[in-house]
Amino acid sequence: MLMLLGVIGAVSGALIVGAIWGLYGKFRARTEGVIVAIAGGALLLSIVLELVQPAIEKSSMITAVIGVLAGAALFAVVDYLIDEKWGSQSGGGMLAAVTLDGIPENLALGVALIGAGATEAAALAGSILLSNLPEAASGARSMRENQNFPRLRILGIWSGTAVILSAAALFGNSFLAPLNSDMLAFISCLAAGAVTASLTTEVLPKAHEQARHWAGFATAIGLLLALLLHSLGNG
């Protein structure tokens, strides 16, 4: 249980660290873009190795296909509604986008940790942690500059977001554990589809916008890092 809380705390705590970075730190947009690209590449491989492939082994290809497509469709619909209501560039819109991205990611992390050790889910956890840092930094900075929120209020908002995403991971690990293998496989793929959709709409476009021609190289680095962590965890 301590291992579970430690992993979830580190991943969600990255949101708070990222918010502090965005409010008080100075960094170049290209640096942020490179970090986002690395996280995107790592997530891309992690969802295949840590979520989809185990789901196929435990259930079936049909379950995986239906789950991934359903998750991607659900994300697309909710993402559209968020953009229409808050706007993609506002601090509130960024916060909603991070929450929308983070719930399936953390739910998936909780499911991946069922019966597994920290090292076995290291690639997925590390990928989510990397993506949380720059996303929170951008959102916090936007809230300060565009909406003139007080710093303490911004930190409170992002701390609350970290709690919500931690709860999603704990829910995935504790309350979904009794489900049968087919249902767990479907939920894993549902989360995988949502995360995949978020990569193409939120993560990789931002990486290219900020890192420009370094984005592809950084994405490849992230993919290799995820492969290394997966190999170490299953070695």
- Tell me: pLDDT of 81 over 60: yes
Nearest to 154 by CA among 9, 16, 13, 10: 16
| Burial 4-14, CB ≥16 within 10 A → b, else e | beebbebbbeb
**Span 211-221, average pLDDT:** 93
- Tell me: pLDDT of 232 over 70: yes
pLDDT band at 98 (very low <50, low <70, confident <90, very high): low
37 three-class SS: helix
- Tell me: pLDDT of 89 over 60: no
- Tell me: pLDDT of 52 over 90: yes
Query: Is 115 or 200 the better-scoring residue by pLDDT?
Result: 200
Of 33-37, 117-121, 210-214, 227-231, least confident by mean pLDDT is: 117-121
Q: Does this model's pTM top 0.85?
A: no
Nearest to 97 by CA among 125, 129, 75, 124: 75
CA dist 21 and 17 (Å) reads 6
